[in-house]
């Protein structure tokens, strides 16, 4: 009988089997997918810890067929370029608050005094209406994996903000966010868009007299050394949107897709729990530093921001704004 010899075996007899081994290695390597994940938060931030948890779970759940490579600290660009990169496919997964490339209507969740507290936010995000909002970017090639809190924004100046009159005419630093700028105008404050890294100096030199920070930023950036009164108003909630290039997601096998989605869901749940403890610890540290923390009666402020809702109802659609507001109120 004649023995059939494969081409690989013939070549193996000539070059000591290197070709066969190499072919097997190439086949194995090509079956692995590495997802590039980028965000602008620091490597020691809660956001990055969440991404590390996500990456580890994805690798384990897919038995290493999918791996996640994390690029923190804006290594691949700030939030806007990250969103653009995910849309173009040069980045696979991104996080951030910049949503113009995805869908500007996502900013609807940052309307003033829309949410009472974090529990209210999370119930909305998990509701049918919240899920509809998260699907807004799919037409542009984005798949939302989840939403992580960037957090509520407060008022901080040299004295407690008790009524809207306490903000009237005050120069306050804000990011260049159209909703925040419109809200500050409605409250009578004079908004100044100053880069994040220049805020401490701007406060110290009295270029501005106030800020509207998220509590962790207020502590981490040591703004409390200059303005030592923090008024808890929860006047605007902002998101770290967590999104993926839809074509790259569709490239994965159904089992891999399920693993990515479950890992993202598990990470969101973990992050929410950690966030609650982080805020409690941060407020305690601020009070130990001599910061006076007060709670604002928001009712008089809410009346003044109605024009903000009117403005963005015209831009994004009255039906969307009304549906989101109703769902947020009912949670």
User: CATH homologous superfamily for 7-330?
Assistant: Bacterial extracellular solute-binding protein, family 7 (3.40.190.170)
Alpha carbon distance 122, 143 (integer Å): 19
Alpha carbon distance 5, 98 (integer Å): 60
- Kind plus residue range of the DSSP H or E element containing 136: none
Helix (H, G, I), strand (E, B) or coil at 131: helix
- Kind plus residue range of the DSSP H or E element containing 160: none
| pTM attached to this predicted model | 0.83
Show pLDDT as tens, one digit a residue, over the chain (331 residues): 433 444 444 333 434 443 333 333 333 334 799 999 999 888 888 999 999 999 999 999 999 999 999 999 889 998 899 999 999 999 999 999 889 899 999 999 999 999 999 999 999 999 999 999 999 999 999 999 999 999 999 999 999 999 999 999 999 999 878 899 999 999 999 999 888 789 999 999 999 999 999 998 899 889 999 999 999 999 999 999 999 999 999 999 999 999 999 999 999 999 999 998 899 999 999 999 999 999 999 999 999 999 999 999 999 999 999 999 999 998 8
How is residue 72 annotated by DSSP? -
177-182 contact pairs (CB < 8 A, 24+): 177/97, 177/107, 177/110, 177/238, 178/107, 179/107, 179/110, 179/111, 179/112, 179/236, 179/308, 179/312, 180/110, 180/153, 180/212, 180/236, 182/307, 182/308, 182/311, 182/312
Which residues, in sequence order, are CB contacts of 112 under 8 Å at separation 6+?
179, 183, 186, 235, 236, 301, 302, 305, 308
> What are the extents of the domains in the chain?
7-330
């Amino acid at each position: 009988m004649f023995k059939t010899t494969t081409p690989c075996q013939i070549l193996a007899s000539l070059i000591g089997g290197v070709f066969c081994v190499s072919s097997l290695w190439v086949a194995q390597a090509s079956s692995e997918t590495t997802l590039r994940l980028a965000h602008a938060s620091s490597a020691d931030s809660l956001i990055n810890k969440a991404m590390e948890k996500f990456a580890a779970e994805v690798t384990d759940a897919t038995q290493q067929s999918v791996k996640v490579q994390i690029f923190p600290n804006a290594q691949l660009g700030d939030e806007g370029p990250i969103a653009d990169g995910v849309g173009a496919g040069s980045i696979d997964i991104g996080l951030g608050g910049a949503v113009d490339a995805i869908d500007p209507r996502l900013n609807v969740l940052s309307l003033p005094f829309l949410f009472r507290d974090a529990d209210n936010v999370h119930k909305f995000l998990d509701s049918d209406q919240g899920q509809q909002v998260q699907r807004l970017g799919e037409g542009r090639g984005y798949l939302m994996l989840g939403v992580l809190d960037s957090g509520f924004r407060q008022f901080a100046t040299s004295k407690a903000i008790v009524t809207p009159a306490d903000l009237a005419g005050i120069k306050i630093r804000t990011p260049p966010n159209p909703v925040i700028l419109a809200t500050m105008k409605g409250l009578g404050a004079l908004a100044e868009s100053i880069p994040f890294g220049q805020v401490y100096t701007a406060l110290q030199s009295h270029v501005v007299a106030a800020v509207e920070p998220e509590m962790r930023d207020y502590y981490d950036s040591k703004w409390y050394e200059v303005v030592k009164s923090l008024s808890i108003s929860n006047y605007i909630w902002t998101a770290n949107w967590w999104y993926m290039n839809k074509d790259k997601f569709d490239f994965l096998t159904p089992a891999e897709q399920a693993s990515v989605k479950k890992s993202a869901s598990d990470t969101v749940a973990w992050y929410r729990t950690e966030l609650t403890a982080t805020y409690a610890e941060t407020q305690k540290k601020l009070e130990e530093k001599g910061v006076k923390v007060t709670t604002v009666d928001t009712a008089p402020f809410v009346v003044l921001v109605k024009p903000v809702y009117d403005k963005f109802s015209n831009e994004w659609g009255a039906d969307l704004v009304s549906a989101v507001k109703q769902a947020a109120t009912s949670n």
